Structure 1
């Protein structure tokens, strides 16, 4: 009865989630431009017009719009949100070049030297923003030019590994940095990112949009917290359960991470929150993919079977599991890995169809 009521509550919670937030492999989350939901990069390129905050006047946009759309269209990234970021940065770059009387020509504008000069004078000085700016303009330059001296990327055969998990020492250092944040809001944001990344392996949009009301107690297993997502349930790892309860007390309504509004007008609202955090230079950048890998390796190392892991990770790809497998330690002491493989320590009982005592069937 308790489980039945729990499942009904979960169904109600899922029904309250914006359908745009459901993760669909191969269909990235849309972005909104001029009131229109854009599900592809092509739609973003066709509908984009710079706003007053995008460092491009209406006259400049009128003169360069066809070229900008053409150049960005040649380098379309996988997601609408990345396309929007790319065309915003490219538009500002092209406008700056036009003010310097550079011909409106890809081979003249999109050169490594001109991009580096622009990056050096860029007003936003964080390492992350400069790296993103350089990367986006480089992608457009490579796609739109043939003579510019861009180093051409090697062929991608799809063999990239998953982001490496964080070590225990690095995770402990992140928690120390969390406690050292200058404001309670920043402490709350960083604690939420660490807890939901390490404790449930949430993706970017899932982490930002998770409501406090969607963290619930399991009705049968005492002390187990469950994160209710539109497409799945994720048991929260016990290491962060107390912290998540504390975060829920701090933010009893709305988004667990905090923040007002829909967030749909921003390209990467979680990224902006993360940029504001004070992380020591001795630590690597706080990377959501590495948090998810750390969570995945912990779950698989603790005995979650493949079907269970895929269900709570929200993935059906065997290649994803193959990439995580490289980070899982072998149980080499006394060949301990052989015991569960042989059924000696099995939670599921003997293999179906075999006699219990090993005698004749």
Structure 2
């Protein structure tokens, strides 16, 4: 630690903050399990301290330099050459330092994300109609079947690329209650009735051990699916993407009142973060819809 010498600072600049940086990092590493290498933490804190003291003219005090507002302002103004992901990483390192060395009443609280993680836009109804046309318009029966299956798995069951690439025909079951997909023996996903027939036809046409999409392929990487869609005959005005299809399926269930617990279980979600990002696409309910939905009797209280 004592041999750390930042190249971006002059000797006189480093002398102003050197003792602060060294003692703070030493204390932080002693009080918490080191998630980041010491030299990376030294570099992050040096950059923050230089900006805070030499640019923002703040005193060399832990409670001020590591205050949440100082960190947020530094990330917003003090490192414009860093990419958003690098800014987020640096901020995380600084927050970990602050949590380790500040007393409980001075520790930082949750900050807003450095950059907005915008979700893939769900498909409109007319775009879903165009996607059906895309599948039907392929050049061979096998390509038409694969494209129709991709749509059924994406729009009808919300499967991810990883889910689709690992799915075999035998993982799809049809009975009197509809079509059910078992994903990697981990979860069951009921298929929307509008897409059930595509998968019923698939079960009738292919052997159980075959892949549901691309029965002759020998790889399970996501690039195969991306290349397959990219080389398929295009449809004017719409391009199928798995992320948008999955979000369309999620949004449908959110809008029609599927309870979030079963929805998260079927979608394989560990948190509601993905669902949260889609709220902006939900149509606002009417006053009567809110009243009827929240008065509905589900169980005795």
Counterpart position of 1:338: 291
Correspondence 1:274 to 2:229 = yes
Paired residues of 2:169 and 2:211 also in contact (CA < 8 A): yes
Matching residue of 1:292: 246
SS where residue 216 of structure 2 aligns?
Answer: coil
- Contact kept, 8 Å, 1:227 with 1:236, in 2: the verdict is yes
Residue number in structure 1 paired with 2:91: none
Match for 1:171 among 101, 113, 128?
Answer: 128
How far is 1:252 from its partner?
Answer: 2.8
Could you tell me whether the CA contact under 8 Å between 2:165 and 2:222 is conserved in 1? no
Query: Match for 1:160 among 117, 134, 138?
Result: 117
* Separation in 1, partners of 2:280, 2:132: 26
Deviation at 1:328, TM superposition (A): 1.6
Q: Give the structure 2 partner of residue 107 of structure 1.
A: none
- Map residues 14-163 of structure 1 onto 2, 5 A cutoff: 153-154=83-84, 157-163=114-120
TM-score, normalized by length of structure 1?
Answer: 0.50
State how far apart, in whole Å, the 2-side matches of 1:243 and 1:261 are.
21
Q: Given the two structures, how large is their TM-score scaled by the length of structure 2?
A: 0.59
Asked which structure has the greater CA Rg, the reply is: 2
Matched position secondary structure for 1:216: strand
Q: Whole-Å Cα distance in 2 between the matches of residues 183 and 261 of structure 1?
A: 16
Task: Give me the CA root mean square deviation.
Answer: 2.0
Corresponding residue number in structure 2 for 1:310: 264
Q: How many residue pairs were aligned?
A: 192
Residue of structure 1 equivalent to 2:179: 225
Indicate the residue corresponding to 2:56 in structure 1: none
Corresponding position: 1:199 with 2:152: no
**In 2: Cα distance, 1:286 partner to 1:247 partner:** 20
- Which one of 344, 349, 358 corresponds to residue 299 of structure 2? 349
Question: 2:203 pairs with 238, 244, 248, which one?
Answer: 248
Q: Is this contact kept in 1: 2:149–2:212, CA < 8 A?
A: yes
Structure 1 contact 212–252 (Cα < 8 Å) conserved: yes
For 1:62-120, what per-residue CA distance to the aligned partner results, in whole angstroms no more than 9, with x for missing partners?
Answer: xxxxxxxxxxxxxxxxxxxxxxxxxxxxxxxxxxxxxxxxxxxxxxxxxxxxxxxxxxx
Distance 1:328 1:257 in 2: 31
Query: SS state of the match for residue 227, structure 1?
Result: strand
Distance 1:267 1:210, change over 3 A: closer
Unaligned runs of 5+ in 2: 1-80, 89-113
Other structure's SS at 1:304 match: coil
Is 252-261 or 237-246 further displaced after alignment? 252-261
Counterpart Cα distance in 1 of 2:263 and 2:157:
11
Cα distance 1:200–1:181, how it changes in 2: closer, same or farther (>3 A)?
same
SS across alignment from 1:336: helix
Report the alpha carbon displacement of residue 158 of structure 1 after superposing the two structures with TM: 4.8
Aligned to 2:40: none
